[in-house]
Amino acid sequence: MAKKLDKSTEDRIKAAAEKIFLEKGFSAARTRDIAEESGLNLALINYYFRSKENLYNIIMMEKLIVFFNIIIDVLDDVNLTILERADKIVNKYTDLLLKEPNLPFFLLSEIQQNPDFFASKLNIKEKLVGSKTIRNLLLEENKKENMHFLLSFLGITLFPFIVRNVFEKLYDLTESEFSQILNERRVFIANLLTEIYPKVNQLTPEDNV
């Protein structure tokens, strides 16, 4: 019973910290804010996580792993073509960011302010280089076209979430209406990539193993 209570309390603190960090970032967030959000006292938070920095590192690591593992895991699915993988990644990122709309701002801001944490803790470079798909995309003769494909894909997938508030005000849209547009982009992105990058579309799963 005690272990269950401990795990429940820990999860409660982490959920509150995630909400506060996503809204305010590390610098502006206070441990007191996390305590108020969780309904627990400061002493209990310090007992479980020792410091705001330690709690932040845990949350940041979990978010980075989720965010980047999506693209790494899907790209290494050798049963799919490149564009089929791109379509799957679009759907997974759309689902994730509709659920957590503040996540892109949080990651971009915190990675820019603390690039060493990103580079050393997550080992993203090693993971990307270890991906057979990415390694082959980098080594193929049309490397520049593949690079443009990856940059274009990430841009058209993620940027709409970053400028969401601007577009909602510009076009007088509700959150629900813009969410519908983001859902419609799942098909739009797949069709657009097929038209713009026919060479990539011709690659078969076997070409990318």
pLDDT, tens digit, for every residue of 29-52? 999 999 999 999 999 999 999 999
Give the residue numbers spanning the domain of 99. Answer: 60-208
How many domains does the chain divide into?
A: 2
Residue 55 lies in a domain: no
pTM beyond 0.85: no
Residues 91 and 162 in one domain: yes
Residues 64 and 38 in one domain: no
Residue 1 confidence (pLDDT): 43
Residues 161 and 74 in one domain: yes
3-state SS, the chain, equals: CHHHHHHHHHHHHHHHHHHHHHHHHHHHCCHHHHHHHHCCCHHHHHHHHCCHHHHHHHHHHHHHHHHHHHHHHHHCCCCCCHHHHHHHHHHHHHHHHHHCCCHHHHHHHHHHHCHHHHHHHHCHHHHHHHCHHHHHHHHCCCHHHHHHHHHHHHHHHHHHHHCHHHHHHHCCCCHHHHHHHHHHHHHHHHHHHHHHCHHHHHCCHHHHC
Residue 52 confidence (pLDDT): 93
Question: Mean per-residue pLDDT for 145-152?
Answer: 75
Give the CATH number of the domain where residue 44 resides.
1.10.10.60
Q: pLDDT per residue over 98-133, tens digit each?
A: 998 888 888 887 777 776 766 666 665 565 555 666
Residues 23 and 119 in one domain: no
